[in-house]
Amino acid sequence: MAKMYFKYGAMGSSKTAQALITKFNYEERGMKVWLLKPSTDTRDGDRIIRSRTGLQALARSIGLHTHIVEAYEKEGPADVIIVDECQFLSPEQIDQLRTLVDEKDIPILCFGLRTDFRTKMFPGSARLLEVADTITEIKTMCVCGNKAIVNARIDQNGHVIIQGEQVLLGGK
């Protein structure tokens, strides 16, 4: 029986690198991977997923109104679905992924942020916390040396910013 996994962590915790290594491991065993990224994530182009380590791969871009089950049925079968930056998916799209787990018996691994720099939950992440079978924190270290538990947005003077748009592509 397939499961839905949500692997979350602060920025710089190797989420994308782990997603790409997972893709490699499945493909090395001859399995077909459907690698997805939300169209919101345009920092490396529409179809490229790239980690800070330099790993990269082509992915299918999922628009805000893309029906994931219908897109999957057009693409053909896959042994696993891996989603990077899953926090940018809508709750409805998370439910569509859940449908693929339950009806098609496909494991789905979602990698992303849990909250933004204001500690506000992303809607896609909130839904994943409700429906994922396994939830795992990918730990990383803060610049202060302690465990990073949230994302911070810092201005040019080193001050923490607590207002602004939820999404800032290419942040550090």
Query: pLDDT (tens digit, 9 = 90+) per residue, 25-63?
Result: 999 999 999 999 999 877 777 788 888 888 989 999 999
Classify the phi-psi angles of 56: left when phi > 0, otherwise alpha if psi is within -120 to 50, otherwise beta. Answer: beta
Phi, psi at residue 7, to the nearest 5°?
A: -115, 110
The 8-class DSSP code of residue 166 comes to S
CATH for 4-161?
Answer: 3.40.50.300
If residue 170 lies in a helix (H) or strand (E), which one and from where to where?
none
Please state, in angstroms and rounded to a whole number, the distance separating the CA atoms of residues 116 and 6: 16
Residues in the chain: 172
Determine the residue type at 27.
E
Query: Which residues have a Cβ under 8 Å from the Cβ of 156 and sit 6 or more positions away?
Result: none
Catalytically active residues are 85
- Per-domain boundaries in the chain: 4-161
Task: Kindly report, residue by residue over 85-138, the tens digit of the pLDDT.
Answer: 999 999 999 999 999 999 999 999 999 999 988 889 999 999 999 999 999 999
